[in-house]
Amino acid sequence: MNSISITANGLSKDYNHSSIFKDISFSLSSPASLSITGKNGAGKSTLSKIIAGLLSLTRGSITYSVNGKQIGIEEFKHHIGFVSPYLNLYDEFTALENLQFLSHIRSTTQQNSKRIKEMLTLVGLWNRKDDIVGTFSSGMKQRLKYAFALLHNPAVLILDEPTSNLDIEGIDVIWQIILEQKKSNILIIATNNNEEAHWCAQQIQVGTT
């Protein structure tokens, strides 16, 4: 198992002249869990995108290292699984096809169909694998996003609004995933929900000013 760490120093993000958040710092080494809380529009999603390397910073720095060796974000992205309302899958393909070509594009070593089957079974979509994603309900799409995020066995799992659109049974599945992830890897949750926030050992709040 790789030991992973993420260190953020004085993260700030501006949007059209105004600051969304500033001076956020934290440090995580696996196993670790962190929750990001804050009001609507405080920048929880923005911060989670920044950690995943999908948005640039206005000020500050963020470093990633694997087994004590610092690596760049492009390389580190292979260790990240990300579930977010901003990260959609392709509506015109089936659930199975989505996972197949996404892992092809990622070209990870473990793109076997066994792993895909495992993941689809885990989120309870195996019997719907040949249905077009466009016909899925929003809850099913959310489940599929988990299958996508976990497909390459990521060391860092980032969840933005983890339980949105999910039913009780779905939340149960997510709870299992979260417990598993916390044990040895890094988990980051951005949420409004206090209960979800308490799943994590560390907590930061954005946009308190």
What is the binding site for other proteins (CB under 8 A)?
14-18, 49, 52-56, 74, 77, 80, 82, 84, 86-93, 97, 101-102, 104-107, 148
Using DSSP bridges, classify how beta strands 59-66 and 69-71 pair: parallel, antiparallel or unpaired.
antiparallel
Task: Please report how close the Cβ of residue 93 comes to other proteins at its closest, in angstroms.
Answer: 7
- Measure the CA–CA gap between 57 and 54, rounded to whole angstroms: 10
Instruction: Return the axis-axis angle of helices 138-150 and 168-184, rounded to nearest 10°.
Output: 20
Strands 156-160 and 186-190: parallel
C-beta of 154 vs 170, nearer to other proteins? 154
When the beta carbons of 24 and 80 are compared against other proteins, the nearer one is 80
Q: Choose among 45, 145, 42: nearest CA to 87.
A: 145
Cβ closest to other proteins, residue 82 vs residue 136 = 82
The residue among 130 and 195 lying less far from other proteins, judged by its C-beta, is 130
Give min distance, CB of 15 to other proteins, in A.
7
Instruction: Give the tokens for residue 185.
Output: 């890897």
Edge-to-edge strand order for the sheet containing 156-160?
A: 80-83, 156-160, 186-190, 32-37, 202-205
